[in-house]
Chain A
């Protein structure tokens, strides 16, 4: 078990990578064996991630040096290479790894039946696993260029998955838009890496952070990085690709694609806090993040209100909810150089933002799956053509209710817990922000009431007389995310103390992040 913990950072990436390339070969033999193999790979990844997370919470930051004589030897003995390729896992990395592993397992279990009508399933699973590799790698790596490589893996597999159901015209369009956004974002990020490498002769995040001089070039690099990652996570003003890409994406991949957006968001936070930290002009950068957050919240929800396509509506809420996360963390960032304010509400705001990340990954993923469950049975996503589905699809209806109540911030669900943390802390910072956030929350509730009313209630429609509940595996996939949502709703204090505060503290502890690799401290 110790050896497994020692190698857990790389195993969390290597297991899905190995599985991704083995899947097409196994799929040639039997599709049933392939399904079992994919699920087993993701389950073992979840197990490794839990081991890793437990270790990080108990012992502290865990680093893993690839190809060295021992995993903890980040800097070679005779300094032939400045710093090797290092994986560095802190509280934030552990939090995001847990999210990714749970969501990936749920989405894949859901996919087993829901992808059956499509052709090329071997490729589907290979791409799905590669997407998981990309998301996981972004969270765990401690190296800028490695991060870029994982970003590319994520982008290419994500674009191929979005366009997977080519029989729908909009799928190809969505995939193409995603590919364009990803390419532009990745190139901006690559330019930033070039700036760092030219100045500091290092690619390791901790090594760059320890040498950071905050020159004009570094500010340019910061702007490039912010633009690249906010673009990839779909914050306003570069939100336009999100609905087009997520809506046609195959059912089970939607929550995993969403996790990839959250991964890019977490990477933004990592760059802002661990790479740059307190010495940059924090109020300015903090306010940029806050404004991006408030705009995302408001634009997302107002555009969601008028949608009639159920999945598209939910995808607009993706943008809106990301605003809350940006708002929370942005407030924390704005007061980072002010210890009193940080202790009073800054840490709380960051924790609230990160708590909203994990909550959203589960309940938003659940909602996207319920939308696809309706599409799977009815063949339409148009709310005006639905009605009375609560009578025949009871499980889906129940799962939808859990997700909808949680996302609208209705107590006692977990969405309420994380939103409350954000409200309380932003109120101390600037009450106007809190009022906007509250209004957005009410509008969210309104739009989900509309969905519930038009899809699930009302008389049974004659054209859907034959419709039955979705198959077992889809129920299992949704059930897993619903269980996670309910668990956090029941024990919010436990979850916040065990996994959210360590993640927030990991963001605040920049010197700890550096010294884990560079030594000293």
Chain B
């Protein structure tokens, strides 16, 4: 891509990632959550691929890493569900504990980020899985596209 695109992408990139992470972390308070935030992060990766090209990006972003992050995200999610099995599977065992434990007042308000128990942690797990998973899909598509282009030339 041209220098203009690359410059703009470079400037926008941090905000895209930041917004994605914001959506993931605030998932239990506002619209958004793991899936949506993960998709935003993955769209940042797509921007990276499109503006800088597959060859350059694949030097520091590897498919192995992506699939490891994806698996760990899913494991974090299921692990949290398993951790509640003293009462029931998926029980919110962190409620009332020092970690994300506070119970916000009912009614309208800005919300308390330090609440929700296991839910914000599960959002992070889903966010890891979705961002890595979608990035891996983009990665494979770019891989195939770059191979084809190479074959034609």
Contacts and interface: CB of A to CB of B under 8 A. Distances in A.
B129 to A, nearest CB: 9
Interface in B67-90: 67-68, 71-72, 74-75, 78-79, 81-82, 84-85, 87-90
B91 interface: yes
A66 B90 CA distance: 6
Interface in B53-106: 64, 67-68, 71-72, 74-75, 78-79, 81-82, 84-85, 87-92
B82 A67 contact: no
A65 B75 contact: no
Interface string A161-188: 0000000000000000000000000000
Interface residues of A, number: 19
A24 interface: yes
Contacts of B75: 18, 21-22, 25
B68 A25 contact: yes
B78 A25 contact: no
A10 B74 CA distance: 17
A7 interface: yes
Interface stretch (A68-76, A231-239, A313-321, A403-411): A68-76
A17 B84 contact: no
Interface string A13-24: 010011001101
Contacts of A7: 85, 88-89
Contact of B71 (A11, A17, A25, A71): A25
B71 A24 contact: yes
B119 to A, nearest CB: 11
Interface residues of B, number: 19
B82 to A, nearest CB: 7
Given A10-B89, A70-B87, A71-B88, A25 B82 contact: no
A67 B89 contact: yes
A363 interface: no
Contacts of A10: 88-89
A28 interface: yes
Nearest to A66: B90
Given A14-B81, A14-B82, A21 B74 contact: yes
A110 interface: no
A67 B84 contact: yes
Contact of A67 (B68, B74, B78, B90): B90
B17 to A, nearest CB: 24
Contacts of A14: 78, 81-82, 89
Contacts of A71: 88
A14 B82 CA distance: 8
Interface of A: 7, 10-11, 14, 17-18, 21-22, 24-25, 28, 64-71
List 7 tightest A-B contacts by C-beta distance, closest first: A21-B74, A67-B90, A10-B89, A66-B90, A24-B71, A21-B71, A18-B78
10 contacts: A10-B88, A11-B89, A14-B81, A18-B78, A21-B75, A22-B75, A28-B64, A64-B88, A67-B91, A69-B91
